[in-house]
Amino acid sequence: MLLWRSALQGLSFLCLFFCSRMGLLLKILVPFVGLVLAFCFYSKEDFNPEMLKGKRVIVTGASTGIGEQMAYHLARMGAHVLITARTEAKLQKVVTRCLELGAASAHFMNGSMEDMALAEDVVKEAKHLWGGLDMLILNHIGYTYFNYFDGDVEHIRKLLEINFLSYVAMTVSALPMLKESGGSILVVSSKAGKIGIPFVAPYSATKFALDGFFSSLRQELIIKNISVSITLCILGHIATETAEKTVSHVMQKPGAPKEECALEIIRSGALRKRELYYPYTAVRIPLLIRDWAPEFLDSLTRNSLNVENVKKS
């Protein structure tokens, strides 16, 4: 009670203080806000698809979903693409479509990213094909269930290898080429890699790991004056075939379009942004609430899912 009263007293004191200083405040605040807005407006570098013309790009997990759409956008922009996933037949079709759409060249390599040797071989293939690399888009993920955590530790180990360690292995192999070209690394992550979302514990762990590793690496690159950008892409629910199969029964709204999502990822990488939030408000607002009212965000998240449709084991 005493605490509340002192807090209210403090608040009224602040209000009185600011009211009496309103004139002064307006004199400082208005020009300051104006300056910030002008800076944001004029410093906003615009994206031009020409930026990707002739660039050499690796896209992982590009046989379906967002990765497939990224390959098509890059092809339309005239980039060289090397795509990966496990299923050869699907990759072959994507490569054919990329060439029809205008890719400077299109190649694929198939295999599972559980195998770190494959992660390294894909980068070696880029060196062999093009002699360098401009953009590395890390997007693939292993199979994820959407349910109560089942206690399977081996599943987490395997998922960490596919969703996290292979990203690190590819980055280590690609860094010399990216340093040479002043290139970019794009890491596709999720809202579940920033906030606690139920039913995706193993997946969420791998996405939080990506944030830790790549945000730290970004700092080191800046300290060492190395001009390789790292863009962490924080995505909300996107309407890919896999996502619809996995979560349509618990979601109250449809997912955002995968084509637009894919373009936003490429755009933010080309502009060397630190992070991308897509869809913007659906991702940004929970992140703003996260550090100030975590319990509120937790309950908001639980209430926005049709939890009753998740089978209890």
Residues 150, 163: Cα–Cα separation, whole Å: 19
To the query of whether residue 203 is one of the catalytic residues in this protein, the response is yes
Residue from 67, 142, 202, 236 touching ligand 0GV (CB under 6 A): that is 236
Binding site partner of 188, from ligand NDP, ligand 0GV, none, Cβ cut-off 5-8 A by kind: ligand NDP
Binding site partner of 67, from ligand 0GV, ligand NDP, none, Cβ cut-off 5-8 A by kind: ligand NDP
Kindly give the interhelix angle for 166-181 and 116-130, rounded to the nearest 10 degrees.
20
* Identity of the residue, 175 or 256, whose beta carbon is nearer to ligand 0GV in the bound complex: 256
Pair 80, 130: CB distance under 8 Å: yes
Q: Where are the alpha helices (DSSP H) in 2-115?
A: 2-20, 22-42, 65-76, 88-101
User: Of 72, 203, 277, 278, which one is the catalytic site residue?
Assistant: 203
Residues 17, 209: Cα–Cα separation, whole Å: 45
Counting contacts by CB under 6 A, is residue 95 touching ligand NDP?
A: no
Q: Would you report the helix, strand and coil content of the chain in percent, each value rounded to 5?
A: 60, 15, 25
Pair 177, 136: CB distance under 8 Å: no
Binding site partner of 119, from ligand NDP, ligand 0GV, none, Cβ cut-off 5-8 A by kind: none
Pair 73, 83: CB distance under 8 Å: no
Counting contacts by CB under 6 A, is residue 206 touching ligand NDP?
A: no
Per-position DSSP letters for 146-189, written without gaps between them: -SS----HHHHHHHHIIIIIHHHHHHHHHHHHHHHHT-EEEEEE
Counting contacts by CB under 6 A, is residue 242 touching ligand 0GV?
A: yes
Binding site partner of 63, from ligand NDP, ligand 0GV, none, Cβ cut-off 5-8 A by kind: ligand NDP
Question: Site residues (CB under 6 A) for ligand NDP?
Answer: 61-67, 85-87, 90, 112-114, 139-142, 162, 188, 190, 235, 237-238, 240, 242-243, 255
Question: Site residues (CB under 6 A) for ligand 0GV?
Answer: 144, 146, 190-192, 197, 200, 203, 236-237, 242-243, 246-247, 286, 300-301, 304-305
